[in-house]
Structure 1
Amino acid sequence: MSLTHPSGPGALRLMFPQWQGAAGPSTHQLLPGVDAHDTQLSIHLGPALLALMSPDHDGPTAYVPVSTDTSHEALATVDGIYARGAVVRQLREALRILRDAAPQSVVTFGGECSVSVAPFSHLASIYGDDLAVLWIDAHPDTGVPGDSYTGFRSMALAALAGEGDAGIVAELPALIPPAKILQVGLRQWKDEGIAVKERLGIRSVGITDTPDDSRRIQDWLAGTGATRVAVHINLDVLDRRDFTDTAGAATDGIRMADLARLVADVSGVAGIAGLTLTQHLPVELMRLGGLLRDLPL
């Protein structure tokens, strides 16, 4: 099995276009000029485009069914989580798929960040303390219910560490100890989740633009004793000079070449058992879709 591109009979490509973990009103504001309904569903479209442009996969592919219902009832905030009903149903279905397929490695093309919760928990149930997590993201994702932002994507990493909504945490087959988690590229230090991150003692490394930064991550990974690693990549960590179809991109992010080098360097220390790509928002395609609906096609 290739360390940087998990494949083969024990691997699974998981298509999980969940968008409900991104709280609606704030998401609408990210894409001016795009219909509010289309803005939410742009997160749903992103994973299919990621898969289309990716190398051929020689293992099985599974699809998590995701509702596209944007009614007020479907998106109701319950227990401090936006669209909690849909989030929980889709989490359960993803876990069922993983349980039935029993993959040794998982590549996830996802909508928002909470799609990593099911595959990373599944991998933790297989590898236990032999699994570490790199969370490459501009945001900490360690929020909890009761925070002002109610999207579950901001709570994903906290849930994996056993914090937050007790019902959701109880659904997970295994948790990730905070000492086995490293955040990379974090630059939103004013998020409410920072308090939970610091209380749990989750360590972080900033923008990785030199080989020295990679060595710090390699040293941390070697120090955990883990021989497997799951890597979460939120595309909002990228520098806007390289990529713009994501949320909150800025010119102080990780360059694409540095991200590729980092993942390759990490694979020299531990086998990559999980790799997630999230938050591809194909803004221009959504605008084009609006035009196509207005034309007599």
Structure 2
Amino acid sequence: MLEKTIRLVIPDWQAGDNPVYELGAKVLKAIAPENKNQKTITVKTVHSTKPQKMENGVRGQSAILKNLKNTKEVILKEKPDSIITFGGNCLVSQQPISYLNGIYGEKMGVIWIDAHPDISTPDVYYNEHAMVVGNLLHCGDSVIQKEVNHPLKPNQIYYAGLQEVTPAEKDLLSQAGVEYKIEESHELDPAEVRKWIKKNNFEYLYIHLDVDVMDPSPSVFYATYFNNPELKKIPENAVRGKIEREAIWRYIGDLSNEFDLAGFTIAEYLPWSAKQMLDLMKMTSIF
């Protein structure tokens, strides 16, 4: 068990261009098990209700940059040994992973549990949350990746639950030198990740969970991008996850009991029913 663990609540929605990400971070903070030894800090993020502008091929890049700088400032002030992160979209893992990689270096492996590789660039896609792994490898958004002071090496990334990648993503993964496998099953095989951990002599793990790795059927896990009541068109790179919820829970639980977790992120949690209830409250004059 690492000595000092903090909880970061990062309600960044700009990198995914959906304000419901902010609500997701608040809900995760509210439902997380209490632990008086873990300080909870909500990172100040840009608050705006205006449509985001395109900047250098990215929606809301200046706001995203401000959010990242605020996150880095909090982490450097606290100097934790491990970090729990509640997002927000997938970009919320960027600063925690960069910081912890500066501490543990090649002793730390990152398990990216996600249906998508998040390896894009502004030439490929316009939402920053699809670029976070590229940024961590210093081959993503040339502006945003400057905030990564301690970039990862390709062997430090392990994809779990990855679904079919686009041709552009396939090229970017090849250029970055990141190995991957498309997950055909509805389960995750812990034996495979254990082999990777042993091969690389990792002593610490950072687990990033993007909830859209799961089957979005209401009976499995509803609070994902694909169940947005207002969703009209699914982008080419937004392939659906298909992993069973129980399989994800077992996978993460088992790894957390076997290895030291330097960090854990829950990202892309989109509580649509909570959003609908919030809309009701905003329309009711007693509030």
TM-score, with length taken from structure 2: 0.88
Q: Match for residue 236 of structure 2?
A: none
219, 222, 226: which is aligned to 1:248? 226
Deviation at 1:169, TM superposition (A): 1.9
Structure 1 residue 204 and structure 2 residue 183: aligned?
no
Deviation at 1:245, TM superposition (A): 0.9
Q: How does 1:58-77 map to 2 (within 5 A)?
A: 58-72=37-51, 75-77=52-54
Deviation at 1:267, TM superposition (A): 3.4
- Taking the aligned partners of 2:185 and 2:80, their CA distance within structure 1 comes to 31
18, 26, 43: which is aligned to 1:48? 26
* 2:132–2:140 CA contact under 8 A, matched in 1: no
Deviation at 1:70, TM superposition (A): 2.6
- Taking the aligned partners of 1:196 and 1:223, their CA distance within structure 2 comes to 24
Q: Match for residue 257 of structure 1?
A: 246
Deviation at 1:63, TM superposition (A): 1.4
97, 101, 110: which is aligned to 2:74? 97
Identity, in percent, stands at 26
- Taking the aligned partners of 1:190 and 1:291, their CA distance within structure 2 comes to 39
- Taking the aligned partners of 1:248 and 1:198, their CA distance within structure 2 comes to 28
Deviation at 1:198, TM superposition (A): 2.5
* SS of match in other structure, 1:204: coil
1, 11, 14: which is aligned to 1:20? 14
What code does the residue aligned with 1:199 have? Q
Deviation at 1:296, TM superposition (A): 3.8
* SS of match in other structure, 2:180: strand
Q: Match for residue 176 of structure 1?
A: 152
Structure 1 residue 236 and structure 2 residue 212: aligned?
yes
Q: Match for residue 97 of structure 2?
A: 120
Structure 1 residue 10 and structure 2 residue 14: aligned?
no
Q: Match for residue 219 of structure 1?
A: 195
* 1:142–1:194 CA contact under 8 A, matched in 2: no
Structure 1 residue 106 and structure 2 residue 95: aligned?
no
134, 146, 149: which is aligned to 2:111? 134
* SS of match in other structure, 1:203: coil
- The one-character-per-residue Cα deviations of 1:243-281 (angstroms, maximum 9, x if unpaired) are 111113698622222112212333355311110001111
TM-score, with length taken from structure 1: 0.85
Deviation at 1:118, TM superposition (A): 0.5
Q: Structure 1: which 5+ runs fail to align? A: 24-39
* 2:212–2:241 CA contact under 8 A, matched in 1: no
Deviation at 1:203, TM superposition (A): 2.3
What code does the residue aligned with 1:219 have? K
What code does the residue aligned with 2:141 have? D
What code does the residue aligned with 2:152 have? I
What code does the residue aligned with 1:286 have? K
* 2:212–2:240 CA contact under 8 A, matched in 1: no
255, 259, 271: which is aligned to 2:260? 271
Deviation >4 Å, runs of 4+: 207-211, 249-252
